[in-house]
Structure 1
Amino acid sequence: MKKEILKIDGVAKPPAPFNHVVKAGGFLFVTSQLSTDLKTNEILPGCVSEQARKALENLKFLVESAGSSMKNIVKVVI
């Protein structure tokens, strides 16, 4: 199966050796998201619900930037 590493415009390179989004076999695989600013990799403060909201906003941004949408997500682990 061919895999394609997607580079999303405006998103900083992750601080660890991984990629935010990989496309393989017609699926998108999005790495774990934290409460971070995707442009700077800065971890943002906040309570648990605020951090979860930011992580889901990051997920939505990455999925939509890769050409899909949240309605196509099969599984999310929080």
Structure 2
Amino acid sequence: MSRQAIHTDLAPAAIGPYSQAVRAGGTVYFSGQIPLDPASGELVSADIATEARRVFDNLKAVSEAAGGSLDDIARVCIYLTDMSDFAAVNAVMADYFQKPFPARSTIQVSGLPKGARLEIDAVMVTG
């Protein structure tokens, strides 16, 4: 099975040796997105809801570059540095996804790249 890198300028460029996403067959594996503004490459640092919107907008851009949409995402993993942000991130996620919601894990971590408070990765199935 061949792999194909997915890239869009509408989401932040990778900050390391990885792709924004990789297609393997009919499955697209997203790298984690933190709340980086794609134009400036700077961390959006406001309230957690604003940061979550930036992350979901980045995921949306990558999903569209892969020929899909957020509706095609089957699994999401959310990494939070503070679980007290859980409810606010849930509320934002509900604005981006409809039933049936993707499967999901939420994990508290001690740190994230660039000092972000939130990172989300995903798996999308197309075709």
TM-score (norm 1): 0.85
Deviation at 1:38, TM superposition (A): 2.0
Which ranges in structure 2 are unaligned for 5 or more consecutive residues? 79-127
| Per-residue deviation, residues 4-51 of structure 1 (Å, max 9, x unmatched) | 112324555312111101110211111111110123321111111111
Deviation at 1:61, TM superposition (A): 0.9
Inter-partner Cα distance in structure 1 for 2:11 and 2:52: 19
Inter-partner Cα distance in structure 2 for 1:5 and 1:35: 21
Inter-partner Cα distance in structure 2 for 1:10 and 1:61: 6
The answer to whether the Cα contact below 8 Å between 1:15 and 1:41 also exists between their aligned partners in 2 is no
Inter-partner Cα distance in structure 2 for 1:54 and 1:5: 22
Stretches (4+) displaced over 3 A: 9-13
**Mapping of residues 1-78 of structure 1, within 5 Å:** 1-9=1-9, 11=11, 13-78=13-78
Q: What amino acid does structure 2 have at the position aligned with 1:16?
A: G
The answer to whether the Cα contact below 8 Å between 1:35 and 1:43 also exists between their aligned partners in 2 is yes
More RCO (CA 8 Å, sep 6+)? 2
Inter-partner Cα distance in structure 2 for 1:25 and 1:64: 17
Inter-partner Cα distance in structure 2 for 1:40 and 1:32: 18
Instruction: Tell me the matched-pair count.
Output: 78
The answer to whether the Cα contact below 8 Å between 2:35 and 2:52 also exists between their aligned partners in 1 is yes
- Which is greater in Rg? 2
Tell me whether 58-67 or 36-45 shows the greater mean CA deviation: 36-45
**Cα root mean square deviation, aligned:** 1.6
